[in-house]
Structure 1
Amino acid sequence: MGETLRLRTVNVTRYITPLREGGSLPALAEADDDFKYVLKFKGAGHGVKALIAELIGGEIARALHLKMPELVFAHLDEAFGRSEGDEEIQDLLQGSQGLNLALHFLSGAITFDPVVTVVDPELASQIVWLDAYITNVDRTFRNTNMLIWHKELWLIDHGASLYFHHSWSNWKNHAQSPFALIKDHVLFPQASLLSETDVLFKKILTAEVLHSIVDLIPEEWLLWEDTDETPEAIREVYFQFLITRLNHSEIFINEAQNARETLI
């Protein structure tokens, strides 16, 4: 208890390839520790807020002992990307100087397919609980955001979580919202142990654990142009959102259980 959470910082040395079409244009990249990473750029679509959601969601998953690739801060220096031929990618790299976020690349991993892999009720309930808690809209049949690696299920991509921060108003209302979109979750049909999971996870996610995760957010990600709030005040809102939502977890658990009854 009381141990300070830390993420490693790596320097990006090589941009290898964009990973998919779309607004965020994550990339496969190599860093100065000779590992490959899936790099998420602060200069993309939703900017630093997507990285904050990725960081908080991923580290909460890790605290709950769910499998998550290592997250690292990834530094891009000002010279990086000047030789990139693709103008869109060059603009993205130039707009992402400084600290970005990267996930350790799981070489050989395959996308989770619910038709091929059956997930047991305990694990399914844990992942559904996590996503209802962090309001993750993006773990559906269309886009599962999970990988199978060494025959185990790994979670990736939490950048669409905590969507309250895109409006940054009425966070208390968002914290106590039922999250009806959980019914679209790819593991929802198997999530039959939500109440048991709720008891377990509320013991793990203490205020101290949540503070340590929120404290990871770099100050340079909290210098928002559309607010006068200090980085410390912004961090405090994230913490208060998370602790309030945890203390009122019955709201999203009841929503999920009611929706499950319509499946049976």
Structure 2
Amino acid sequence: MESSTGAHASVSNANQKTLRVLEVALLNERFTDIVTETGLPKSTVHRILASLIEEGFLSGDAERGYHGGSRFMALAGRVLSRVDISRIAAPVVDQLVAEVDCTVHVGTLSGDEMVYVIRTDSSKPYRMRSRVGLAIPLHSTGMGKAVMAFWPDDRIASYASRTGLPARTDSTITDLGRLRDALADVRERGYALDLGENEPGTVCVSAPISDHTGEVSHGLSVSSIALEHPGQSIEEFAPQAVAAANEISRLLGGTR
């Protein structure tokens, strides 16, 4: 007679195989690709796929390919409708603030602006003028540039034409050519800087956050005052900002 431990291990192994086949099938429609990616025997893959189709988690067949079934899509829709980035990102932001002792923001793209959805302060006596719900321009802010860096050139040009790239300070980028160059730098290094471009005396380093669609739709910034972090010294927090943004992306189902 099989021991309870052995039976539990057998069930656990079967569950792992089923979840693996489901995951791979949602990303690779062809039966041969699913077999290759999972490394499981064809007969096992075929049996698991049949079970997943019967339960509504997958739809399709070996000839037409596989995709999410009605039950899976209904569950996914319910989960995505309840996604609250403020709740999801809060623990990551709290940990980042403890590491860098600077104010940390998370913002979401809304039209031609970024809107703050999180602001968590450091232990320092000064406070940023930002607030949750405040909308800020894209081209003059670190978070905005972190998002725009992943736009195609025609979308960047359209933004520039539509808004006119208004100056917020003497340091704001107001020329399309310079903006393109700045965004190319962001793509290359993986983070953006705001050195007094949106508000005099305020600096930040920002990183992009992607959502479950793979789109960069949010940004995270580590902010301080220029008196404490003169020049580009805020850049020292770039690795922590990028790591935190990547973790939030992971929690959102993103790919960064």
Larger radius of gyration: 2
More helix by share: 2
**TM-score using structure 2 length:** 0.23
Give the number of the structure with larger relative contact order, counting CA–CA contacts within 8 Å between residues 6 or more apart: 1
**TM-score using structure 1 length:** 0.22
